[in-house]
Structure 1
Amino acid sequence: MITCKSKKVLISGASIAGPTLAFWLAKYGFSVTIVERSASLRLGGQNIDVNGPAQKIAQKMGIEASIRAANTGEVGLQFIGQDNQVTAAFPKEGPVSGTQELEILRGDLVNILYDCTKHDVIYRFGDSINALEQQADHVSVTFSSGKTDTFQFVVAADGVRSSTRRLVFGEEPVFKYLGLYTAYLTIPREQTDNNWWRWYTAVDRRIIMLRPDNQGTMRASVAFLESDEAYEKLSPIEQKLVLKGKLAGAGWEANRIIDALDSSPDVYFDKIGQIKAPRWSDGRVAMIGDAAYCPTPLTGKGTTLAMVGAYLLAGELASHEHYQDAFIAYENRMRPYVEAVQQLPPGVPWLVYPKTKLGVSTLNTVAGIFASKLIQKLVGLFTPTKSKDESKGDEITLPDYA
């Protein structure tokens, strides 16, 4: 195990990966500081899943009950046709469904993780890492606030655009753009809304989704294909203009979302892609979560990778005498799992973004066939002992670290 003299760790990022790592490191006796650029916790965001191995880790952390209590109440996935009719329905309890057992808002999970670490971990909000200098036995850190400190290890857990990663790894990690842009926002709930995740496909390669939350509002998302990374460095006003243009004439709830764009407090707009990094550590600095291996929201496994990577890294640091061996063991355990999760099915995402009305109709028809009682029964017969969470790439051994 890392000796007591080598237990001071700095984590950049207070979302999901960072606090999960902090929880386990503190449990193993490390002195942990989390630095977060935002002035407070960033509590916005859409529905996320805590499933498979992430659920097992939540159980080990003693937070599964809190996650379950904050459930969004989503009952399943519905595909909506051009005339506002339900073309397919996949109930949560069915053998095939996009809705998992533990559906929670991203911000709610962030809050839960903060509550279970705030007494054992130092949080520094409104600050960030400005410079790093690695020495033989420590890392010297200069913060944007002007303060300086030394740590035995630094871990980047600050997302896809990690500034900490860039300081150490430069342009070595690659962002693999998948030809897709997406936007999320919170909109008022209306009487016509329900507790289904509703998926509407429009012509010209556009998708609109509405999902319930546990706060009396709805979480809306808009996604569209774009061959080029055309919307870099837009201002919030410019982003909303792009979204309004993409929503124009889309049908269904498009006009409702257009009307809500200017007043929504949490519009998020970004391109979708994966982070491919040939290594996850350099000297005394390591990476976890989206900073190291973002799988994209298309996989539904971003939260899972964040929590699993954090658990494994902390456990390996606690189990090895030398940190280099711990970093190697972490990567050897984690990389095959990451590669499996990042492997998208052929045709994704283009297959589910048809251009024509015929293509949209075909997609909804196929969804209806898969949602039929006969197909659902056959799926249940052929997968009688397998949880719907245990799809390809969802299985990894979680050691019981001391």
Structure 2
Amino acid sequence: MRPGSVLIVGAGLAGSAAAWHLDRTGWQVTVVEPTASVPESFLLQLDETAQAMMSTMGADDLVRSSSAPSPRVSMRWGKNRVRRTHFSSGDMRLAVRHELVAGVRDMIPGTAIMKIGLRLSALDHTAWGLTATFDDGSRESYDLVVGADGIGSTVRRLMFGPDQPYLYRNGLAHIWFKVRARTPADTAVVASRHGVAWQIYPYPDPRTTLALAAMELPDGAHKDPGDLSARCAQLVRELGHDLDEVADAVATVDPYISRFTQVRMPTWSTGRAVLIGDAAHCVDPLSGLGAHASLLDASVLAHSLQTQSHHHGAFAAYETHVRPFIRAGQNTTSRILEYVTTPQDVTRRRTLAHGLREAVSGVPTLATRVGRQRVGGTPLCARPVGAAAVTAS
């Protein structure tokens, strides 16, 4: 397809990477982003493929400066007593999310037009493209629009309608604690006890730890943050006395609470607009797939636009490449979390059976259609990882 003008809405990891790739393939790129700086957030996992895709962008130094090797993991479980095993994280790295995203945003070429501090307020299809209206009243026309504006995507709402049909929620909440404490021997802890799934990971600065719980939390429950912190501190303490320092720190800070939400859409494009990253297919922070999926989307979309003769074919090719990977990741992550947070044995077995069927059915497609294909020498994706590493969306 002959390059033209493209508006990218959102300058997170997916949007910034898309701006980098599309500029290099000849597109006239405009990026609109309401925030001047990347908000401080939590951790982001970089698996081997995500690191390889960053390397193709010339971002090896950024990866090294904003991340550290993922530590050895202690897995813990058990109803009456804590059972343990250990495993290596391989070549994965844990990045401080806002540092990595800010670095990729800084890599957007100077030829791109940056509309920082503006918000998209309307999108209208015309005979030859899309007209975008911004919150300052200005209007511009573009050949294509890429929605990379996260789970609460404005592009998705304007182009596809209300969010409700596309959001999958299972009633679980994520309880986040960033504390000044060290994990035992600077290892990570992944645990499941008493209907709560835990991921406790040290930051690249080992004096700081992220403790993330997934649990049932009805709306309105624990209106006093101190009560929730105290409850979570006790749950951490019950995972082992070597986590007492982390538990003591959890008891002293207020948590950040988010809800398990996946974006599940039948298609990621309409007309000349296409969605990427969490706007198209948020998996879940506990999946460890956020960076991989965002970088994959940006690379594959740019490659598809370069090799297809029309945007319809390019959008279809992008979705054909990426969707099997996302479907497997979403199904595996949701079923694992629903299994480990469900106390009833019969319900747990039924949940696990559904999850295994979905995971097994997705593996052949994932391996044959996606896993063996490459873009620019980089594998399009690695195997799906289910609830085994912590990220922040």
Pairwise same-fold verdict (TM > 0.5): yes
Match in the other structure for 2:357: none
Write the deviation string for residues 57-104 of structure 1: whole angstroms up to 9, x where unpaired. Answer: 2222121343134333442111357999882221334xxxxxx43332
Unaligned 5+ segments in structure 1 are 94-99, 262-266, 359-389
Retained in 2: the 8 A contact 1:220–1:257? no
Write the deviation string for residues 107-126 of structure 1: whole angstroms up to 9, x where unpaired. Answer: 23202212221534333332
Q: TM-score, normalised by structure 1?
A: 0.75
1:275 and 2:282 equivalent?
no
1:289 and 2:305 equivalent?
no
**Per-residue deviation at 1:210?**
2.7
Q: What is the rounded CA distance, in whole Å, between the counterparts of 2:334 and 2:196 in structure 1? A: 19
The residue type equivalent to 2:340 in the other structure is V
The residue type equivalent to 2:93 in the other structure is L
User: Match for 1:140 among 131, 136, 150?
Assistant: 131
1:398 and 2:374 equivalent?
yes
Question: What is the 5 A alignment of 1:80-119?
Answer: 87-93=84-90, 100-119=91-110
User: Match for 1:318 among 306, 312, 316?
Assistant: 306
**Per-residue deviation at 1:258?**
2.7
Match in the other structure for 1:250: 235
Q: What is the rounded CA distance, in whole Å, between the counterparts of 2:76 and 2:199 in structure 1? A: 9
1:299 and 2:287 equivalent?
yes
Secondary structure of residue in 2 paired with 1:137: coil
Secondary structure of residue in 2 paired with 1:72: strand
Say if 1:130 and 1:312 are closer, same or farther in 2 by CA, change over 3 A.
same
- Name the stretch that deviates more: 139-148 or 391-400: 391-400
Q: TM-score, normalised by structure 2?
A: 0.77
Match in the other structure for 1:39: 36
Q: What is the rounded CA distance, in whole Å, between the counterparts of 1:347 and 1:333 in structure 2? A: 23
Match in the other structure for 1:377: none
Secondary structure of residue in 1 paired with 2:214: strand
The residue type equivalent to 1:55 in the other structure is Q
1:240 and 2:225 equivalent?
yes
User: Match for 1:197 among 188, 191, 197?
Assistant: 188
Match in the other structure for 2:322: 334
- Name the stretch that deviates more: 172-181 or 307-316: 172-181
Q: What is the rounded CA distance, in whole Å, between the counterparts of 1:277 and 1:291 in structure 2? A: 10
Q: What is the rounded CA distance, in whole Å, between the counterparts of 2:121 and 2:261 in structure 1? A: 26
Q: What is the rounded CA distance, in whole Å, between the counterparts of 1:84 and 1:211 in structure 2? A: 22
Write the deviation string for residues 214-241 of structure 1: whole angstroms up to 9, x where unpaired. Answer: 245423233233276x26xx9xx95835
Q: What is the rounded CA distance, in whole Å, between the counterparts of 1:220 and 1:102 in structure 2? A: 15
Say if 1:395 and 1:103 are closer, same or farther in 2 by CA, change over 3 A.
farther
1:179 and 2:167 equivalent?
no
Secondary structure of residue in 2 paired with 1:88: strand
Say if 1:176 and 1:74 are closer, same or farther in 2 by CA, change over 3 A.
same
**Per-residue deviation at 1:36?**
1.6
User: Match for 1:150 among 141, 144, 165?
Assistant: 141
The residue type equivalent to 1:131 in the other structure is A
Match in the other structure for 1:59: 55
Retained in 2: the 8 A contact 1:40–1:125? no
The residue type equivalent to 1:77 in the other structure is V
Using CA pairs under 8 Å that are at least 6 residues apart, name the structure with larger relative contact order, 1 or 2.
1
1:2 and 2:5 equivalent?
no
Number of aligned positions between the proteins: 347
- Name the stretch that deviates more: 238-247 or 303-312: 238-247
Runs of 4+ in 1 over 6 A off after TM superposition: 81-86, 390-394
Q: What is the rounded CA distance, in whole Å, between the counterparts of 1:2 and 1:131 in structure 2? A: 26
Say if 1:36 and 1:240 are closer, same or farther in 2 by CA, change over 3 A.
farther
- Name the stretch that deviates more: 277-286 or 54-63: 54-63
**Per-residue deviation at 1:159?**
1.1
**Per-residue deviation at 1:131?**
0.8
1:169 and 2:160 equivalent?
yes
The residue type equivalent to 1:13 in the other structure is G
Match in the other structure for 2:119: 128
Secondary structure of residue in 2 paired with 1:145: coil
Q: What is the rounded CA distance, in whole Å, between the counterparts of 1:346 and 1:131 in structure 2? A: 33
**Per-residue deviation at 1:297?**
2.7
Retained in 1: the 8 A contact 2:197–2:337? no
Say if 1:225 and 1:85 are closer, same or farther in 2 by CA, change over 3 A.
closer
Q: What is the rounded CA distance, in whole Å, between the counterparts of 1:318 and 1:393 in structure 2? A: 20
**Per-residue deviation at 1:313?**
0.9
Q: What is the rounded CA distance, in whole Å, between the counterparts of 2:10 and 2:207 in structure 1? A: 27
The residue type equivalent to 1:223 in the other structure is A
Secondary structure of residue in 2 paired with 1:62: coil
Q: What is the rounded CA distance, in whole Å, between the counterparts of 1:47 and 1:324 in structure 2? A: 32
Say if 1:158 and 1:393 are closer, same or farther in 2 by CA, change over 3 A.
farther
Retained in 2: the 8 A contact 1:341–1:393? no
What is the root-mean-square deviation in Å for CA atoms of aligned residues? 3.3
Q: What is the rounded CA distance, in whole Å, between the counterparts of 2:7 and 2:372 in structure 1? A: 27
